[in-house]
Amino acid sequence: MLAEQSYAGHTSVHDAETAANLGLAGAPIEGPTHFSQFDPLLASLWGGRWFSHGCLSAHFQTMVVEGEEVQATVTSPGPGSTAVRIDAAKADGTPVLTGTASIDGDTTATELAPRLIRSQGSPPERLHVLDRISVGQRGPGDETITVAFGDDFGEMYPFSLADKLAAITEPLDWYRPGAETPWGGPVVPIEMLSVLTNAGSRHAGFVARQPSIGLFIDLEVRLLGSPVLVDHTYRIDREVVALGESRRTESYWTLTTMSDEATGGPTAQVLLHQGVFKDSYPDYPSPTS
C-alpha cells in the first residue's frame, strides 16, 4: 500500500527500485501492518478492553515483502495475566518481530522500555543525516488530525482508511462504517495509529537531511482508556526523546500523544523509533573520515 509513498521529492524504501538500490531483497510492507494480526488474539484474551486499554510494543527484526506469509503468536504466562509475549515469523521460521502486549497499564516493562533507556544512556557522538534533530525537540503544538473513511493521508501515506480496510490482514467488524461499539462508533485499527501520528511529522520540523531513505525499527502503541475513533478530531503533541546510531542507520525516537480535541483528554501514545539508511545519503562519511 506504500508503493507510491514519497517524501522530500523522492520515493521511499517501499518502492521496489529504491529497495533494490539499498541491497534489500524486495520492497517491504510497512511494519505496523503486523499489529493487526495480533488484535484478534489479544481480544480473545482481554475482550473489548484491548481496544481501549491495550499496549503493543514491538521490535522489528526482518522486513517482509508483499505475498509472504507471516504467523503471529501470543504467549501468556497463565490465566488472568495482563502482560504477554508476542512474536511473528515467516513460514520458514525467520523472525519478523518480537515484543510485548499488555492492558490496564500493567507495570511489566514493555519491549521498548529497555531499548529506549539504552539509547538515552549512550547518545551518538555525531550525526550526519539527523543532525538537525535534537532530544527535547517538540512539534508546533497546533497539529490536529480527523480520521474519515474516505480521506487520503497524503504523500507519506497515499491511501485512505477505506483502502486499508479493504486490504487489512485481519478485518474486524468494529472497524467498519456503521459499526456499533461500546464507544459509539467505528474504531480506528491500532496499526493505523502510527499513520495518524507520523503523517504530518515532517511539517513539525522532524526532518532528516535529504535525499535519505527511512525505516521503522521499533514501535509501541498505548491506548489510554478509549480507542481512537473515526470522525473524531485529535490534537497531536510530539517530542524527540532519544537519538541513536548503528552500523547501517542513524535513528531517533519520538513520543507522540493523541488527545481528543473535544474533551482535551489524552487518548493514545505512540513511541516510534525510526532510522535512516546511511547508504541512502550521498557522500556519507566513511568510518575513517
* The pLDDT of residue 287 is above 80: no
DSSP letter (8 states) at residue 104: T
Give pLDDT tens digits for 183-223. Answer: 999 999 999 999 899 887 766 778 888 888 888 899 999 99
* E strand or H helix that includes residue 237: strand 233-245
Q: Give the residue, 287 or 216, on which the prediction is more confident.
A: 216
Q: Name, in order, each residue with C-beta under 8 angstroms of 17's C-beta and a sequence gap of 6 or more.
A: 11
* 258-267 core/surface letters (b: 16 or more CB in 10 A; e: else): bbbeeeeebb
Give pLDDT tens digits for 214-231. Answer: 888 999 999 999 999 999
Q: Which fold has domain 6-104+111-280?
A: Thiol Ester Dehydrase; Chain A (3.10.129)
Res 152: pLDDT: 85
Give pLDDT tens digits for 261-282. Answer: 999 999 999 999 999 989 888 8
CA-to-CA distance for 96 and 113, rounded, in angstroms? Answer: 19
Average pLDDT over residues 71-97: 96
% of the chain with per-residue pLDDT over 90: 66
Strand partners, 178: none
Res 289: pLDDT: 46
Q: Which of 88, 3, 92, 102 is nearest to 50 (CA)?
A: 102
CA-to-CA distance for 127 and 130, rounded, in angstroms? Answer: 6
Average pLDDT over residues 104-110: 86
Average pLDDT over residues 51-63: 96
Handedness of CA 259, 202, 36, 86 (dihedral sign): negative
Q: Please, what is the end-to-end C-alpha distance for the chain in angstroms?
A: 39
* The pLDDT of residue 38 is above 70: yes
Average pLDDT, the chain: 89
Strand partners, 222: 55, 269
List C-alpha distances in Å: 234 to 187, 228, 261: 14, 9, 5
* The pLDDT of residue 147 is above 60: yes
